[in-house]
Amino acid sequence: MTITELKDTIASLLAQKVPTFLWGAPGIGKSSIIRQIAQEQNIGFIDLRLALMDPTDLKGIPFYDKESHTALWAPPAFLPKEGEGILFLDELNSAPPSVQASAYQLVLDRKVGEYELPSGWAIVAAGNREGDRGVTYRMPSPLANRFVHFEMDVHVDDWRVWAFENSVDARIIAYIAYKKEHLFTFDAKSENKSFATPRSWEYVDKILKANLKPSLLLEAIGAALGRDVGVSFLAFAKVMNKLPDIEMILESGSGAYSDEVDVLYALSSGIVGSFLGNPSNERLEHLLTYTFGLKSEFAVMIVQDLQRSGVKMEHSDVFKEWVKKFAYLLG
């Protein structure tokens, strides 16, 4: 399922407190998606990395109660006590079987030891697939049957919407549009420690903003993505110097054009990112006017990126003319 489909589906199941399990390759943003759902619904979010826990971390520590003359379990402080939210059990199938057993009780009965999960909280779990070279344990069938299982796929369009919303460096967004296959290069059969994933591209964004010396940039980016993808990205990033003045386009509707495909990919992402950073009806009119002179596929790419990011343009007379010009590509 795509990220958009998953968000809509999981958000709907949360209200019914249906436990869901999200499967996917490493680095594709499983935990980020669940955190984003919680933020959008303005509810709590607790992320438990079960692979780093011992059984007593989840169940609590036993102590002797003098009044009842029984042994009780002191529940851990990190579990929610009230309100509503998402309890996210990350890396569930990477946890040792003894920890999974404690999680099984929490998922099955919504309680573990003396602790009971508040009624307003839903359980979502996630894990890597068994064939992805991660440390995983086969999930017991009774535990697996307690979840509704979804598999998360990597989709460039969804990632680009997220990247625009989070002000990811325009060079990265443009490069992924140009080289879609480089968004995710993980190969379970490869021994390479570095490979491109949505997570590692987020690291590259931070590397670019760290203002490293040019002599160190390739090493740092290659360490995040793998050297081949790093070299390819930096070579592409140089075309950003060939772009026309994007602010002038947005302020006047006019500017230079290019026939170079890599430049057009960079321009398309750059102009969308600049508009989203400072949107207005006037700047939208200028942007649309400029696209009349672009190669048709890039004019359509720009408008589709804007629409996926929630920009409304049906009210614009320029957009009505735009639709007449490019309608044959929209079917």
Task: Select, from the ranges 52-61, 183-192, 311-320, the one with the highest average predicted confidence (pLDDT).
Answer: 311-320
Mean pLDDT of 220-234: 94
Predicted pLDDT at 293: 94
Residue 2's pLDDT band (cuts 50, 70, 90)? confident
Instruction: For residue 47, give the nearest of 24, 22, 18 by alpha carbon.
Output: 22
In the predicted model, what is the mean pLDDT of the chain?
A: 88
Predicted pLDDT at 135: 60
Judge whether 42 and 69 are in contact, CB under 8 Å: no
Predicted pLDDT at 109: 86
What are the residue boundaries of the structural domains of the chain, listed by start?
Answer: 3-151, 156-330
Structure tokens at 96: 């040792």
Mean pLDDT of 123-149: 78
Mean pLDDT of 172-185: 92
For domain 3-151, the question of CATH label 3.40.50.300 is answered with yes
Predicted pLDDT at 118: 93
Using the predicted structure, report yes or no on whether residue 331 has a pLDDT greater than 70.
Answer: no
The tens digit of pLDDT for each residue in 276-322 reads: 989 999 999 999 999 999 999 999 999 999 999 999 999 999 999 99
Lowest mean pLDDT among 93-102, 215-224, 246-255, 311-320: 93-102
Q: pLDDT > 90: what percent of the chain? A: 52
The tens digit of pLDDT for each residue in 83-120 reads: 999 999 988 888 888 888 888 888 888 888 778 899 99
Predicted pLDDT at 52: 83
Neighbours of 113 (CB within 10 A): 19
Q: Is the pTM of this model over 0.85?
A: no
What gap in Å lies between CA 51 and CA 35, rounded to an integer? Answer: 19
Using the predicted structure, report yes or no on whether residue 139 has a pLDDT greater than 90.
Answer: no
Mean pLDDT of 179-206: 90
Using the predicted structure, report yes or no on whether residue 234 has a pLDDT greater than 90.
Answer: yes
Predicted pLDDT at 54: 81
Mean pLDDT of 58-82: 77
Predicted pLDDT at 131: 63
Using the predicted structure, report yes or no on whether residue 201 has a pLDDT greater than 80.
Answer: yes
Judge whether 317 and 284 are in contact, CB under 8 Å: no
What gap in Å lies between CA 174 and CA 293, rounded to an integer? Answer: 20
